[in-house]
Each structure stands twice: as structure tokens, then as C-alpha cells.
């Protein structure tokens, strides 16, 4: 059983249309940030548009071919690499290709192989042409089963997207990848310039525009109001911070000074601490750090000390208020957030840190 070139062209165009539409749909819903680093999102959106464009070209080719099936209108969408030729000068063009333009035996061998293949293909096509004198200027009919399998494979991602999209990794992947608690193991992370100007500014009730992402990422609600000029003003309450900030503070004394004794607020995902927790009053707050896409995400985490039950499921989003400490434990400095309040919160718009 075979599939006609027209059906294959229709299948190709529809696949491109579905892929392009779904990519743009995800982008339109603002969901790309769940999967990709911001620097890659424009490429994916552009690809979505290009897929639609290719689909349109495909439909145009089908339309033109169907409107003049017996003519060579030169606008068909065939792959010149494997279509049924009409025999115009097959042998001549093949013979031209047999003339080696390199004197080396290496290139002669390649050229001879290419020429041989071309001669065989031309002969094959000539036989086909004799049996099918009216060609459709498309591709050879293709076996049905392989084409069906390929089509199904290409539909799998679409079905996955349609049936439900992920919002984050489960504890399984976090455990398999291991939680990073040392900023030296995170070379892609960039330190904030200066000695935490954000926190100095916070003390003056002013958050600069360079740090406004903290407020945006964490969705801090009424205590942070976005300003019209890209700056935001904080009137009261604990300082917003990221888990990565605390990891930097472990390594950099100047950062530590900015934190010590001050109440902060950070958002992360709850991970129970099963080892090194004899009193059972500690857990970890993590964020996924990505350099490229969610597939390369690495969990970064900080230990939180909180004597009460948290009451949140594994990997649930929590907002923690507390005071960071940087004691020496096990012979090395570490960050521990002594929490006074832990509450469940919605996932931030951008679940990753970069």
C-alpha cells in the first residue's frame, strides 16, 4: 500500500500547520517561560511563524499542482532530491556529473560513486517513466506503514501539549539531579554587581529598577508596588531575596553583612530534608536554575529551619519569611534561613531562576 504524493504533501503541510500553531499558542499564553530560558524564546516564536509560512507554501504548491496537474509549472514543492523526473535530459545531466573536476583519487571516488548512483537512479526513473508516462511532478509514492509511523511520532509532541503541559519537575527529578547548595557549582549564575544595592536601597524604602525582577519573580503582592518607570517602591516588610542571593552570601562576606540580622522573604519549592535533620525542624527551599531549557534545570536550594509543620506537599510553592544565618556546619560555611512564617503561595510567573 502506498500514499500518493498529494496526500503526503497534504500531511506535511498539516503537520507544519499544527506544530507552528501550537508553538505560537504556547507563546501567546506566556507559557514558553515554563520551558525555556528567555534568550531562546524569540527563536522558538520565530520558528513557529516559519513553520506556518512553510505550511502556506506547501498548500500553495498543492493548489498550483492540482490546478495544472500535467504541466511543469516549476512551482511544485517537490524535493529535487527524490522526485520522479520527466526524463528531459536525464542521461545528459548524469553524464555531466561524471566528469571529475578534481584530479585526486579521493574526489574521483566520491564523484564516481555519485555518478554511478545518478546513472542507476536515472535508469530507474526511465523505467518508471515508461510505465507512468504522465508524471505528477511530485515524489514517488511512499509506503503507507512507514509514513504512518513517522506521522504518529511527529504527532506525539502535539498530543502531549494538547493533553496537558507540565508546570515543573517533581521531586523525582530533583532527587536524581541533586540539590546544589554551593554557588561555586553554579558557574552560569551571575553575581549582582556591587554589594547588594537592592538591599541597601530597600533599607531606604526604594528598590531600584535593576532589582525589580525580584519583585516580579516572586509576585510579592501588596508590599511591593511596581512604579511606572520601571522602578518599584517598597514601603515596609521584609526584604525580597532569592535563594541564589543566600548562596552568594555564603561565599562573599560583603553580601553576608547585608543580610545578617535582617528579615527577608523568599519564594521557593518545598523539599523535605531527610538527612542531616536530627530534630526534624529543617527542610529545603529550592528553585530550578536553567541555562538553556527546563531539561537542563538544576535545583538550587537553601536549608530552612522552622519548628512547626509546613503543611505543604513536596515541591509545593512556599513563601518564607525569616532571618538568614551563615553558621559553620560540617567544617564549612552554610546558609540557614531561620523562618518565622512559612505559607503556601502560587507559583511565580517565571518558575526558574537564571
Partner 1 sequence: MFLSTVTFQFSPPDFQYAFLSILLEGMPFLLGGAILSGLLEEFLPQNLMTRFLPANPRSAVMISGLLGVVFPVCECGIVPVVRRLMRKGLPVSCGITYMLAAPIVNPLVILSTLAAFRGQAAWEMAILRFVLGLSVAVLAGWVVSYLKPEDILRDGVLIFSASEHEHHESGQRSLIDRLQNAAGVATRDFLDVAVFFVVGAGAASLFSTSVNQELILPLASNPPLAIASLMGLATVLSVCSTTDAFIAATLTTFPMAAKLAFLVFGPMLDFKLIFLYSAAFSKRFILALGIGLFLIIGLLCWRLATLNLGW
Map the footprint of partner 1 across residues 127-146, applying CB under 8 A.
none
Q: Binding-site residue total for partner 1 (CB under 8 A)?
A: 91
Return the axis-axis angle of helices 41-67 and 5-28, rounded to nearest 10°: 150
63 near partner 1, judged by CB under 8 A: no
**Which sign, positive or negative, has the C-alpha torsion 17, 23, 28, 29?**
positive
The least distance separating partner 1 from the CB of residue 315, rounded to whole angstroms, comes to 11
The least distance separating partner 1 from the CB of residue 237, rounded to whole angstroms, comes to 34
72 near partner 1, judged by CB under 8 A: yes
Question: Hey, which residues between 87 and 116 contact partner 1 (CB under 8 A)?
Answer: 88-89, 93-94, 96-97, 101-104, 106-107, 109-111, 113-114
Considering only residues 38, 143, 166, 230, which one is a binding residue for partner 1 as defined by CB under 8 A? 166
Considering only residues 122, 196, 241, 267, which one is a binding residue for partner 1 as defined by CB under 8 A? 122
Residues whose CB falls within 8 Å of the CB of residue 280, separated by 6 or more in sequence, listed in order: none
30 near partner 1, judged by CB under 8 A: no
Helices (H) and strands (E) in the chain, counts: 11, 13
Residues whose CB falls within 8 Å of the CB of residue 33, separated by 6 or more in sequence, listed in order: 41, 349, 350, 351, 352
* Ramachandran angles phi, psi of 304, nearest 5°: -120, 135
Alpha carbon distance 100, 25 (integer Å): 51
79 near partner 1, judged by CB under 8 A: yes
The residue (of 175 and 225) whose beta carbon lies closer to partner 1 is 175
Type and span of the H or E element at 139? none
The least distance separating partner 1 from the CB of residue 100, rounded to whole angstroms, comes to 10
Question: Hey, which residues between 232 and 291 contact partner 1 (CB under 8 A)?
Answer: 291
12 near partner 1, judged by CB under 8 A: yes
25 near partner 1, judged by CB under 8 A: no
Question: Hey, which residues between 180 and 199 contact partner 1 (CB under 8 A)?
Answer: 180, 184-188
The least distance separating partner 1 from the CB of residue 115, rounded to whole angstroms, comes to 10
The residue (of 104 and 204) whose beta carbon lies closer to partner 1 is 104
Distances (CA, A) of 290 to 221, 268, 317, 351: 25, 15, 18, 10
Each residue of 275-306: b (16+ CB within 10 Å) or e? Answer: eeeeeeebbbbbbbbbeeebeebbbbbbbbbb
Amino acid at each position: 500500500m502506498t500514499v500518493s504524493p498529494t496526500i503526503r504533501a497534504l500531511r506535511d503541510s498539516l503537520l507544519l500547520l499544527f506544530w507552528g500553531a501550537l508553538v505560537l499558542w504556547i507563546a501567546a499564553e506566556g507559557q514558553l517561560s515554563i520551558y525555556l530560558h528567555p534568550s531562546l524564546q524569540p527563536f522558538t516564536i520565530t520558528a513557529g511563524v516559519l513553520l506556518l509560512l512553510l505550511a502556506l507554501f506547501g498548500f500553495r504548491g498543492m493548489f498550483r499542482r492540482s490546478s495544472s496537474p500535467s504541466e511543469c509549472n516549476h512551482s511544485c514543492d517537490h524535493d529535487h532530491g527524490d522526485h520522479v523526473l520527466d526524463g528531459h535530459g536525464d542521461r545528459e545531466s548524469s553524464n555531466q556529473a561524471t566528469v571529475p573536476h578534481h584530479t585526486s583519487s579521493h574526489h574521483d571516488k566520491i564523484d564516481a560513486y555519485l555518478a554511478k548512483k545518478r546513472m542507476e537512479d536515472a535508469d530507474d526513473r526511465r523505467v518508471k517513466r515508461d510505465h507512468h508516462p504522465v508524471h505528477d511532478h511530485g515524489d514517488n509514492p511512499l509506503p503507507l506503514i512507514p509514513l504512518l509511523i513517522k506521522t504518529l511520532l511527529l504527532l506525539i509532541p502535539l498530543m502531549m501539549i494538547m493533553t496537558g503541559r507540565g508546570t515543573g519537575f517533581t521531586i523525582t527529578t530533583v532527587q536524581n539531579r541533586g540539590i546544589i547548595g554551593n554557588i561555586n557549582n553554579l558557574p552560569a549564575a551571575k553575581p549582582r554587581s556591587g554589594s547588594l544595592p537592592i538591599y541597601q536601597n530597600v533599607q531606604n524604602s526604594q528598590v531600584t529598577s535593576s532589582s525589580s525582577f525580584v519583585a516580579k519573580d516572586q509576585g510579592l503582592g501588596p508590599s511591593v508596588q511596581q512604579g511606572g518607570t520601571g522602578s518599584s517602591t517598597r514601603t515596609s516588610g521584609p526584604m525580597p531575596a532569592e535563594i541564589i542571593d543566600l548562596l552568594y552570601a555564603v561565599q562573599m562576606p560583603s553580601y553576608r553583612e547585608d543580610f545578617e540580622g535582617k528579615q527577608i522573604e523568599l519564594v521557593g519549592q518545598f523539599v523535605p530534608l531527610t538527612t542531616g535533620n536530627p530534630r526534624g525542624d529543617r527542610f529545603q527551599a529550592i528553585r530550578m536554575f536553567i541555562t538553556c531549557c527546563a531539561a537542563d534545570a538544576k535545583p538550587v536550594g537553601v536549608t530552612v529551619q522552622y519548628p512547626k509543620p509546613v503543611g505543604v506537599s513536596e515541591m509545593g510553592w512556599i513563601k518564607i519569611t525569616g532571618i538568614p544565618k551563615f553558621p559553620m556546619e560540617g567544617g564549612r560555611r552554610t546558609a540557614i534561613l531561620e523562618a518565622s512564617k512559612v505559607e503556601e503561595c502560587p507559583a511565580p510567573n517565571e518558575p526558574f531562576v537564571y
